């Protein structure tokens, strides 16, 4: 697919995906979501790509849905279908066994905050603004915000954002646990790349299963989650990468992992 709404580039085993509609603060139209899904699938299938960073161009990360596609007489079944399609896309972020960092450079409103929530980690520019203002329009977030936000920050903080529709700064987002780190605007991408390199220097198979154990464990009881953790580690310890990691430790050298 040739891209019009995004920029896709690979550097140092990391795919950088930039939403590139700065004139509308990178608002998500149908085409943008289709291109984003293709880029995610491309990065997932590329063995050279070990992780992904998603960011936006200009002053916006993603300022919600494109108003040109919003109708005052939209039918309920249309909204349900649109919501499920977005869920399918954002679910991929969690199901792909590669780490994804949201580098939030500016306005992340509505679907922008929801996309960031679907990523594994979130680094925010000091200029970033977060919010789920759908209640101002008489609706509610429908790209996963009502479900992922409380799982990340707790129901109280989530409900405050969801029911007031207020916008918060990057620092406030960090204080409630919505973002992992806040950095100066000019350092955003370099900091995201630095964090990603800290991740991908490790055994890919171990990174993948850390991600899966957290995401799947959140849907289980503690007992079932602990059982799952024990079983996964029983598999990991017999992998080539685990054996290489231990051998490299004793040899006092850097391990060479093969994702096997």
Task: Choose the catalytic residue: 114, 160, 191, 193.
Answer: 114
Token pair, residue 33, equals 């979501």
The β-bridge partners of 101 are 53, 121
- Measured between alpha carbons, how far is 97 from 189 in angstroms, rounded to an integer? 22
Angular region, 117: left φ>0, alpha ψ -120 to 50, beta rest:
alpha
* Residue 129 host element (H or E): strand 129-131
**Which of 94, 134, 191, 193 is flagged as catalytic?**
134
C-alpha 189/C-alpha 123 separation (Å) is: 9
Q: Rg of the Cα trace of the chain?
A: 19
Are 140 and 146 in contact by the 8 Å Cβ rule? The answer is yes
Would residue 134 show up in a list of annotated catalytic residues for this protein?
Answer: yes
Phi and psi at residue 16, to the nearest 5° = -100, 115
Question: CA-to-CA distance for 178 and 149, rounded, in angstroms?
Answer: 8
The tokens describing 57, both together, are 């161009």
Active site residue 193: no
Show which residues are catalytic: 114, 134
């Amino acid at each position: 697919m040739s891209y019009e709404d995004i920029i896709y580039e690979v550097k140092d085993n990391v795919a950088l995906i930039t939403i590139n509609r700065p004139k509308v603060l990178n608002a998500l139209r149908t085409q943008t979501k289709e291109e984003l899904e293709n880029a995610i699938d491309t990065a997932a299938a590329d063995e050279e790509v070990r992780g992904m960073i998603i960011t936006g161009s200009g002053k916006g990360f993603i300022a919600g849905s494109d108003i040109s596609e919003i109708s005052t007489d939209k039918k309920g079944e249309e909204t349900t279908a649109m919501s499920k399609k977005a869920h399918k896309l954002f679910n991929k972020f969690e199901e792909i066994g590669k780490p994804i960092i949201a580098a939030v450079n500016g306005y992340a409103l509505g679907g922008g905050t929801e996309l960031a929530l679907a990523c594994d980690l979130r680094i925010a520019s000091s200029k970033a603004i977060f919010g789920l203002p759908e209640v101002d329009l008489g609706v509610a977030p429908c790209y996963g915000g009502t479900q992922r936000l409380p799982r990340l920050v707790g129901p109280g903080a989530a409900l405050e954002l969801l029911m007031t529709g207020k916008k918060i700064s990057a620092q406030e987002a960090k204080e409630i646990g919505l973002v992992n780190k806040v950095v100066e605007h000019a350092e955003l991408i370099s900091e995201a790349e630095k964090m990603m390199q800290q991740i991908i220097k490790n055994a890919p198979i171990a990174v993948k299963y850390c991600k899966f154990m957290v995401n799947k464990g959140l849907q289980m009881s503690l007992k079932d989650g602990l059982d799952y953790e024990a079983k996964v580690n029983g598999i990991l310890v017999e992998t080539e990468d685990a054996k290489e990691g231990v051998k490299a430790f004793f040899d006092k050298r850097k391990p060479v992992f093969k994702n096997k």
